[in-house]
Chain A
């Protein structure tokens, strides 16, 4: 088996007395969709921050595409092909939807016309073409999440980290979002996905990593995870019924 695209090795982060991420290791291979789940406060978002350079880890290493990117600033991590979305969408509020995406596509297409053409295509991909000229701050929460995904795709990543893009969506919208994620994978993208919507994560993921209190507690295929005693105890409880 080839080396993993993303390799997280014993990543560690403390905030004061809180051990937010404790010796966490995981890997993501090219073409995979890996789910990262765990109860609220288990360190999933912090893990994303550590991988993408928004926080500097206290210990451990992050390797991406064969290079050590531990502690590299976010823009550098992104330029290497690893892009993330935010749990609470962070659009450039006063810029139009299209200009939001142009800010991202300029990374690979420095010429304005090319960046714009690319951005227009992505705005269509996420179904926001009717709102391309609207200031992003005026979008609904759902549309802001769509924009968040379009913007991340604009940087043409090899691996994309999606942080709870489905929270608060209606079942129909979840189905739609799942279709988009499947389409992304078919385009050759690799995904690491934090998600609370179990129907989605269980259907989409090739592999699931479970965290609890900053630690790795289990890993396996969706079927294995659904039956794993430690996972059921820590997290799933009776909430999850197989769809």
Chain B
């Protein structure tokens, strides 16, 4: 897998250290089976309570940050043509163009495809679980993707574009094409990433018509 985010690389040894320390305490307790003296209770408090909680906290933060990285998306072979294009500095695709922006960088898949809003991170991660289920049931074992087989579960929301691109500044409203489809853009009937507008976001996967 490619390079993990900096915070994940920083937290990984910390999380593992907490886990190893807790493991040593618990392993010793399980093997030696000492009497429950005050000192043993204190050790167990650290082995079952304090250290695992610290390990879980650091592990969760590191895992969450890892799951946002483009390298993580690329760990499923069905995504590699998309992620390779996004990482290609010579590509003229919308995905590559945005990935060269520091705001997106190595998290460009997540920044563009996440749900925004109050529970956006939660719903995005739930969708990630669905991705994993679909991958394991259809593509595990390296089965190749048929052309046109992969598609979004729902149309790409224009709100994800307008998180950054204002629709009220003159640069947007001065474009007559924007004015012509203003209502459709608002309702989502027309996507910003439609071919002929600003899309397609990704080049067609190999073999697609």
Q: Is B a genuine binding partner of A?
A: no
The residues of B with any CB-CB pair to A shorter than 8 Å are none
The residues of A with any CB-CB pair to B shorter than 8 Å are none
